[in-house]
Amino acid sequence: MSLPHDRARTAWPTEGLSFGGDYNPEQWSREVVLEDLALMREAGVNLVTLGVFSWVVHEPRDGEFDFSWIDGMLDLLHENGIRVDLATPTAAVPMWLHLAHPEILPQDAFGHPLAPGGRLGWCPSSPVFRGYALRVVEALAEHVAGHPAIALWHVGNEFGGGNARCHCPVSNDHFRAWLRDRYTSIDAVNSAWGMAFWGNTYSSFDEITTPSGATAHNPGQLLDYERFSSDALLEQYRAEREILKRWTPDVPVTTNFMVGLGPDVVDYARWAPEMDIVANDHYTYGPDPLRRQELAFSGDRMRGMSDGGPWMLMEHAAGAASWHPINQPKGPGELARHAFAHVARGSNSVMFFQWRASRSGTEQFHSAMVPHAGRDSRMFEDIVRLGADLTHLDEVMDTVVADVQVAFLHDNEAGWALKSGLKPTNQPSYADTARAFHNAFFDRAVTVDVVPAWVPLDGYKLVVVPGLFLASEETARHVAAFAEAGGTVVVTWFSGIVDEHNTVITGGYPGAFRELLGVRGEEFSPLTPEQSVDLDNGWRGVRWTELLRSVDADVVAAHSGGALAGRPAVTRRATTGGGAAWYLSVDLDRPSLDDFAARIIAQAGIVPVATVSPGVEAVRRASAESSYLFLINHADTEGWADASGTDLLTGAAHEGRVALRAGAVAVIRER
Ligand code: GAL
């Protein structure tokens, strides 16, 4: 079942950009709640996510509902002009339910159930959990329907964040039913997975189990188990959404994704069409010196999943998280840089986890908009400043990210396939190559759409296929058609190796793209971290090489020594429509990749968003009427960008050049 929907017509929950965060007032006294409302008004908060973990508040005992708390909170927020993103509380199983039904706990690969407590303590396939969950959702939706504060529904929380893979008997039955549905006959399963290997052939569906224990399972089976697990969680989302749509047809429905580099626990790109607004939780990793670029990658992926339209940053951190080994705060001004970077890449919101830092509980040391120190703190000052700055950006609401000439193909299934089964190198790193390429473009102020592998490609000048290990025939055709129509394609090593069943495409690597690229790979030869190879044009390869032959491609760079001396490493085949198909059979080191990126950008006629000094991120959002250039100086030295217009944040007019203090942000309304 999927709802007919048109995201373009979905009303955004707030009039301007949404600003706020997860609000958990059940943890606080009335006095603190009243202070919260005053501080929210001071900061300009206009949206809060409420009730994410409030099941036991709504239903303190089996079947006994009490909505007085939520009624009070909805009224109070409404009186204060704050809109509500109301959660269904299904991420937080009440203890009474655990006691009554211990069988709903998910089981790990060794059959151990999770302990009660924590969150997401439910098996995605459990009909018992589903029954209780839908009952509370129905009661809540019926009760609050029509309340004017409710602007958005937030189904559960981070689906799969802890319960994504279950091996209990119910999940096993569900897996078998899912397979029957997909393959119809057991022969089709055996053939898709190649079960003849090691004599693992099944005689009936009853023999199939979830891939559990320490056994080395079949790669096809492992991949289908990932797909099944994502679908099992999606059933829960759909069941809840159906109830919400019945009671409140006009309120948009979403759930918060956890989109980073991928692969993710569920297949977000295939879930996205089920969302009225696509929403993301994004947390940077403090010690990552390039965290700004990882943030940009995730924003570019979110936009790819929302058809280029606005998406919602549902959560990020005001400062440090508490779940990394060492949790470092953000540097001076970084809170604002991260917030504006999300908006630059298409978010129409800046939301945090959470409003007020908790005193107790697992996340008692996680940062928040109001820290333990309270109002009188650098953090809250930064939040107030950010809230004020965002009000100057309301005119950006109706724009989308513009001037995107490059697409990177991304597919969660390719990432899952890569980690399912043994590989020439068993250090799965699906998005490493994508990230390295993205970084090279990021540094050159070239915006990239990171899109699901199946979206239309017309309109782009360059399509990069970065480590897309799994490629269906359809994807291969789609990419080839783009190149034959005059586009430039770059395929990187270990792409297009297996089909949708995780089965090798034989006849020469990379099977799915062999003809397009005009090459034939015969053997892989991965490198150890200490090894590298030199190419005859001065480039250097790390991590990966292969024994490659050109069929009808030009050799751009060949190995200059070693076992592969003289063999092609980088090739280019001119396509009939004036396009080009490049193959990189080695993983280029950073200087070589920089050189390659500069060359491909020039050859494909790609124009950067702006000319900027090193360390300045530039992204443009525009509509038919107006155009805004977001400039974020991540460097700790003064920077600049060539642009003209008025800075929405300061009102300053700039002619020709915008000077940017170290760490500064500007949003230029361009003439
Ligand atoms: C998110 C989650 C929040 C909170 C936050 C802390 O993943 O949705 O509830 O746990 O992380 O970073």
Give the pLDDT confidence score for residue 4 in this predicted structure: 35
So what's the pLDDT on residue 650? 98
User: Which pLDDT does position 5 carry in this prediction?
Assistant: 44
Structure tokens at 425: 């190198």
Give the dihedral sign, CA 246/248/249/254. negative
The predicted structure's pLDDT at residue 427: 80
- 16 CA distance to ligand 1 middle (Å): 25
Which of 324, 353, 355, 367 has most ligand 1 atoms within 8 Å of its beta carbon, as the pocket-test mutant? 353
Question: What pLDDT does 8 receive?
Answer: 53
Look at residue 7 in the predicted model and tell me its pLDDT: 56
What is d(CA 656, CA 641) in angstroms, rounded to the nearest whole number? 9
Query: How far, in Å, from the CA of 526 to the mean position of ligand 1?
Result: 37
Pocket test for ligand 1, best of 24, 120, 358, 363 (most atoms within 8 A of CB): 363
Give strand ranges (E) for 399-509: 400-401, 406-410, 448-452, 462-465, 488-492
Cα 157 to ligand 1 centroid, rounded to whole Å: 9
Nearest CA to ligand 1 atom 5: 353
Give yes or no for a contact between 124 and 156, defined as CB atoms under 8 angstroms apart.
no
608 prior amide bond cis, ω within 30: no
* Sequence letter at residue 179: L
Residues of the chain with pLDDT under 70: 1-9, 428
Q: Which atom of ligand 1 is nearest to the CA of 317?
A: 12
Tokens of 639: 């920077």
Mutate to test the pocket of ligand 1, among 281, 282, 285 (most ligand atoms within 8 A of CB): 281
DSSP string, 329-381: PPPTTHHHHHHHHHHHTTBSEEEES-SB--SSSTTTTS--SB-TT-SSSHHHH
Cα of 353 from ligand 1 centre, angstroms: 6
Spacing, Cα 298 to ligand 1 middle (Å): 16
Residues touching ligand 1 (Cβ under 6 Å) are 157-158, 281, 283, 315, 321, 353, 363, 366
Catalytic sites, residue numbers: 158, 315
Q: How far apart are CA 138 and CA 364, in angstroms?
A: 32
Structure tokens at 3: 């709802």
- The residue whose C-alpha atom lies closest to atom 3 belonging to ligand 1 is 353
What letter does residue 498 receive in the DSSP assignment?
A: B
Query: Residue of the nearest CA to atom 11 in ligand 1?
Result: 353
Report the distance separating Cα 502 and Cα 418, nearest Å: 9
Rounded to 5 degrees, φ, ψ at 76 are -60, -45
User: Longest C-alpha distance within the chain, in Å?
Assistant: 76
User: Is the C-alpha dihedral spanning 28, 32, 33, 36 positive or negative?
Assistant: negative
> Which residue spans within 46-185 are E strands per DSSP?
47-50, 83-87, 150-154
Compute how many other C-beta atoms are within 10 angstroms of the C-beta atom of residue 67.
Answer: 16
- Whether residue 34 contacts residue 21, with contact meaning beta carbons closer than 8 Å, is answered with no
* pTM greater than 0.95 (yes/no): yes
Give me the residue label for tokens 């993205």.
Answer: 438
Q: How far apart are CA 570 and CA 495, in angstroms?
A: 14
Contact 339, 386 (CB under 8 A): yes
pLDDT reported for residue 671: 85
Buried/exposed code over 224-241 (b: 16+ C-beta within 10 A; e: otherwise):
bbbbbbbbbbbebbebbb
Strand runs labelled E in 90-163: 150-154
* Tokens 């909170």 sit on residue: 73
Q: Residue 112 has what DSSP assignment?
A: P
Alpha helices in 588-631 (DSSP H): 590-603
The number of the ligand 1 atom at minimal distance from the alpha carbon of 53 is 9
Residue with tokens 């790609």: 606
Q: What would you report as the CA-atom Rg of the chain, rounded to the nearest whole angstrom? A: 26
The minimum-distance atom of ligand 1 relative to the CA of 283 is 12
Asked if 345 and 619 count as a contact pair (C-beta separation under 8 A), the reply is yes
CA of 95 to the centre of ligand 1 (A): 21
Confidence (pLDDT) at 9:
52
User: Can you name the residues that pair with 654 across neighbouring β-strands?
Assistant: 645
Residue with tokens 């109301």: 86
CA 382 / ligand 1 centre spacing (Å): 21
Rounded Cα distance between 131 and 145, Å, is 21
Nearest CA to ligand 1 atom 4: 353
Half-sphere exposure of 102 (CA within 13 A, CB side): 5
CA–centroid distance, residue 255 to ligand 1 (Å): 13
Contact 95, 116 (CB under 8 A): yes
Give the separation between CA 528 and CA 204, rounded to whole angstroms: 43
